[in-house]
Amino acid sequence: MYFRDFLTILFVLEVTKAVLHEEASIKLFDYLIEKNNLVQDFEKSGLQLPDDTDFIKQLIIGYSDSETAYKGRAEKTFLYEIVANKTTGIDVDKWDYFARDCHHLGINSSFDTKRFLTFAWVCEVDNRKQICIRDKEVDDLYEMFHTRYNLHRRAYQHKVVKVIEEMITDALIIANNHMEGYFGKKIAISETVDDMEAFVKVTDYILNYILNSTDENLSPAREILERLQRRQLFPYVGQKRLKHDITDIDEDSICRKIAAKCNGDPRLEDIAVNVITIDYGMKDKDPIDNMRFYKKGSAEATKLSKSKIIQLLPKHFRQRFIYVFIKKRNPESMAAVTKALNELYPEDDPAVLEEN
């Protein structure tokens, strides 16, 4: 999947308030089975339907405490930790994008997946079979989560990435109800999550269609994408780093407060705010707390005491930032938004912000 594909699909999931990326994957899985008449092929391969297809869907979602969890595989609960591990966050989904993105971004990852697999055992934990690891490998696990943190800090949540995401989102919102020529039927981009035949077309080609379209309704969206091609990005105003325990913060309310202080120049719709969170995958918690370790020569897996961990750990496992952009490229608007941001969130306010 290309990076722009990801942003386009992210737009669809955000606008439609889809709870999980995995839910769209399951809908797409059902669509592919039906579209390609795979039921007979599955049965010829010895798969039991619908139990085995339900099992595949549960692997995509990961472990759940609901009554339907582990359907057909209650005796092998560790299988649900392989693709999407909701217990520890250690799964092959991460390993896949680590290998891909570290390679293309030139970011080193010292986490050794082959070594992890060598020391991974299935142990009984709280009456459930769980993937556990040798106690001496704890430092390697922290390296994995630190790699995740670095990828988010230096790539996925970088301010340039966020402003490109903002510009593509603006273009798609404008184009949302004017893409009948692309899909071949009257459907909004944001509605494609419920129509897999249309959803499979939500790729970077949707942006090429907008760029090459002569539809006047798509003209404002086309202008944004052309601006993006020329690298004329929305100007970056600045950022504020929040204390790790600040949670009650909303992007829309920050925009309104900044606009109010600017007295109409720039306007509310010309201000963009991103509140981003960078963590180890478990919000403000240490993900290793949920991992169980075994000692050499023992089949018993237990939680590892912090006193046994020699690695220097971060004081907090989550950082939150406010990124502020402006869609008007002029010094007066930039100065007004900068002043408003600093007045709303002064650097010396110990109750709200840490020093940048």
d(CA 148, CA 95): 10
Q: Is 146 a catalytic residue?
A: no
Q: Where are the alpha helices (DSSP H) in 290-352?
A: 331-344
Closest Cα partner for 189 from 162, 166, 215, 170? Answer: 170
Q: What radius of gyration, in Å, describes the C-alpha atoms of the chain?
A: 24
d(CA 149, CA 111): 13
d(CA 191, CA 129): 40
Contacts of 220 (CB under 8 A, 6+ apart): 174
Which position among 21, 103, 152, 316 bears the catalytic label? Answer: 21
8 Å CB contact between 137 and 115: yes
8 Å CB contact between 47 and 96: no
Residue 249's identity, in one-letter code, is I
For every residue of 121-159, DSSP letters joined together read EEEEETTEEEEEEEGGGHHHHHHHHHHHHHHIIIIIT-H
Q: Give catalytic residues, as residue numbers.
A: 21
